[in-house]
Structure 1
Amino acid sequence: MDIKILKEEDYLESLRLSEYAFQYSVPEEKIPARLEMLKTHKLLGIKDNSALAAKLHIIPLAVYMNGEVWDMGGIAGVATYPEYRRNGYVKSLIAEAIAQMEQEGQIVSLLAPFDFAFYRKFGWEILSNVKKVTIEKMNLKFLSSQLGSVKRNTKATHCEDIEEIYRKYSERFSGMLVRDTKWWKEHVYDDQSQAAVFYNTSKEAKGYVVFNVKDRKMDIKEMAALDHEARVGLWNFICQHDSMVDIVTVNLPLHDPFPYYLNQPKIKIEVMPYFMCRIVNAKKCLDKFPFHREADPIFIHLEDPFAAWNNGSYLIGNGEVKEYKAKEGSQCVNPPKRGIRLTINELSAILFGYKRPEELYELGLIKGTKQEVDQFETMIPQLKSAFYDFF
């Protein structure tokens, strides 16, 4: 089958496929803006004669990884008309997308899965867990009186203070999206959203919530606090809505300390996996990753069925990563027998901070001796993955 990079004249047809596959409709007046947005994507498509049968979007983005910015390819809009399904079209598009991202220097990739098991087959793994906290009105109890102030914003009055808080908060985690002002206005806010920023007595912006209030429910889409003073200030702001709402829901990264510090932390908490990640170029990721340098060197033997350039053995230690070049896409030249064996899924989960080597070994997903796994464990810093966005 012939995979093509779609051109501007194909964008409307691509939009119609998305509408059909994902069962939504773009209002006529918003179609020009949607087509303009597609100019920032790379669209891969498969046609049946002149008709579009399947397509996939690659969005050039970036994520924060251990305090640095890594180029990332966001996979979105993967769709096929029903009459073309089960012909291997999506598999071919995904394989080509991985190759395209490698060529573009996007060393990792993220996507929102319709099915986790499906994308695991292609090397993506869970990026992070999110927790949704549901608070009834009777538990909206103020914490200690708080100095400082809160200022509300909308999309129209969006301020740089929110962006700076988000940037600092994101650096505490692995995998958070790098946002510019355009992304904030087009993807974080909707027409009803508000953002409340907490300022301490020194007029420093230290936290924010992005939220909607409707039908006696306060839905907090994001909450980010840089210190405990900001946590208290934002919680007290939420409590100020006690006459307006019956329920408050808060969407948070799993590792955020809310609601531990509340007077009544026994409230409903739902935890679920969210988004998936994949290493596109293993050597570049390993070179950039902040391994603990005092650990003894160790070999890892990596398998990646959809990115042959990743297959092979890597010696990690003494401040460097040495790659044993793969031969014929899968077999290493004189591979050492010692070391641990894993797939691109496990390596992605480890480098993003979702799972530890010892956890994956206990699950039978890493092969090697216990001593070797313990050795690899000591190399990996304590990381916490998180993700707020959707694309």
Structure 2
Amino acid sequence: MEVRYLDSSEKKRCRSLWEEAFPEDSASFVDYYMEEKTKDNRILVLEENGRILSMLHRNPYEVYAGDRLWKCDYIVGVATAEAGRRRGYMRRLMERALADMRAEGMPFSFLMPAAKEIYLPFGFTFIFDQPEWELPAMRIQDSTLAVRQITGGASEELMESAGRWMERWLGKRYEVFTRRDAEYMRRLIKEMESENGTLEEIQKKGKTAGFLETWGLDGQEQRLLLAEPPLLREKGRARPAVMARIVSLPDFVKVIRLAEEAPAERLVFCLEITDELLAENQGVFRWTLDRTASFLERMSAAEDGKDTSGIIKIHIRDLTAWLFGYRVPGKLPAEAVFIRPIRGVFLDEVV
């Protein structure tokens, strides 16, 4: 058996395994995926005698994280042929993928799980709850509102304008979200159109006031809604949707800093991390934070952390949830309240 990445000419060989593992995906959507997403993704496979037994797709995204723009992989298409399941093939691929991402200095990786139990052992944890929003009836009743459909044939200028509007809207509310340039928008529209979907621009008095995406072959459903109040309102309770795990810890902590109300210009903690899969993340570190950033230094066995503000013993999974601002772990030193995690995550990509 061999674990390797497919080259560009081989990628469509994984279609039969995709169709076996994900029968709910329509043929038109799989056509879109194999034609569009495989242009720039990396597909890791486990092969035997030329047959693909298991696969994992690394789909690249540019992700804003505060004032930084990171390249992060979205893991999708994790599947094993029925005849080879429960033999540890997925684990081999996941361990290889995470090790490669770590070597590349990738701050984190994310995915949308079919079941969280599959990915918890690999250090993944939820970081984003998908909100459920709707447009109230005033959308129809308000004569100042209009709707314009944006198709895949739209101009580069219109694509860029739509993407900039979305980025501004997200940037006011979240610190982590994917970059929406013209290429992102064009690909998103192709994805919608693969299942009879549309992207609509909502205009109020001739100016952009929001965007609505719907798709579905067996009945249209809302895929995305971004709009200015009062057009937007909550429809239901947000649900856990996206999991992530920190991959390159030294790169990730650069966006974490002290809160403005911290009593000192700098705080230092002893950070003891458990990470069973990535040895580079496991161990004891001196974590120094100020109001602009933070950095890590691995501590030697002779150091005991007496010159720090406290010892934080934590699993990489709990550290990920904490630093993404999703969940605060228990048993933190008192001074840890002044550590400012990320405030706001919006990652709603499907593939």
Structure 1 equivalent of residue 151 of structure 2: 154
Matches within 5 A, 1:223-302: 223-225=225-227, 230-232=228-230, 234=231, 258-259=233-234, 269-292=236-259, 294-295=262-263, 296-302=267-273
Does 1:140 pair with 2:137? Answer: yes
The answer as to whether partners of 2:133 and 2:225 remain within 8 angstroms in 1 is no
The answer as to whether partners of 2:66 and 2:255 remain within 8 angstroms in 1 is no
Separation in 1 of the partners of 2:143 and 2:35? 47
Stretch of structure 1 that moved more, 146-155 or 25-34: 25-34
Structure 2 equivalent of residue 352 of structure 1: 324
User: Which amino acid counterpart does residue 130 of structure 1 have in structure 2?
Assistant: Q
Structure 1 equivalent of residue 210 of structure 2: 207
Question: Mind listing any 5+ residue stretches in structure 2 that lack a counterpart?
Answer: none
Separation in 1 of the partners of 2:112 and 2:146? 36
User: Which amino acid counterpart does residue 302 of structure 1 have in structure 2?
Assistant: I
Separation in 2 of the partners of 1:39 and 1:218? 28
Please say which structure displays the higher CA radius of gyration.
Answer: 1
Matches within 5 A, 1:366-377: 367-368=331-332, 372=333, 374-377=334-337
Structure 2 equivalent of residue 66 of structure 1: 66
Does 1:336 pair with 2:318? Answer: no
Shift of 1:13: 2.4
Separation in 1 of the partners of 2:3 and 2:289? 41
Cα offsets for 1:89-132 (capped at 9, x unmatched): 11111011011112233211111111112211101110211233
Shift of 1:26: 6.8
Partner SS for 2:258: coil
Separation in 2 of the partners of 1:322 and 1:30? 42
Identical-pair percentage:
20
Separation in 2 of the partners of 1:386 and 1:4? 32
Cα offsets for 1:249-291 (capped at 9, x unmatched): xxxxxxxxx23xxxxxxxx624311011111111111123243
> So what's the TM-score if we normalise by structure 2?
0.82
The answer as to whether partners of 1:3 and 1:46 remain within 8 angstroms in 2 is yes
The answer as to whether partners of 1:64 and 1:170 remain within 8 angstroms in 2 is no
Question: Mind listing any 5+ residue stretches in structure 1 that lack a counterpart?
Answer: 236-257, 260-267, 362-366
Instruction: Please give the root-mean-square deviation of Cα atoms over the aligned residues, in Å.
Output: 3.3
Separation in 1 of the partners of 2:255 and 2:3? 32
Structure 2 equivalent of residue 325 of structure 1: 298
Does 1:178 pair with 2:179? Answer: yes
Structure 1 equivalent of residue 90 of structure 2: 90
The answer as to whether partners of 2:254 and 2:295 remain within 8 angstroms in 1 is no
Shift of 1:156: 3.1
**Closer, same or farther: CA 333–15 of 1 in aligned 2, 3 Å:** farther
**Closer, same or farther: CA 290–193 of 1 in aligned 2, 3 Å:** farther
> So what's the TM-score if we normalise by structure 1?
0.74
Separation in 2 of the partners of 1:70 and 1:200? 34
The answer as to whether partners of 1:134 and 1:269 remain within 8 angstroms in 2 is no
**Closer, same or farther: CA 269–38 of 1 in aligned 2, 3 Å:** same
Cα offsets for 1:188-217 (capped at 9, x unmatched): 55223333334455x5434222236999x8
Separation in 2 of the partners of 1:41 and 1:300? 34
**Closer, same or farther: CA 151–300 of 1 in aligned 2, 3 Å:** same
Counting matched residue pairs gives: 335
Partner SS for 2:38: helix
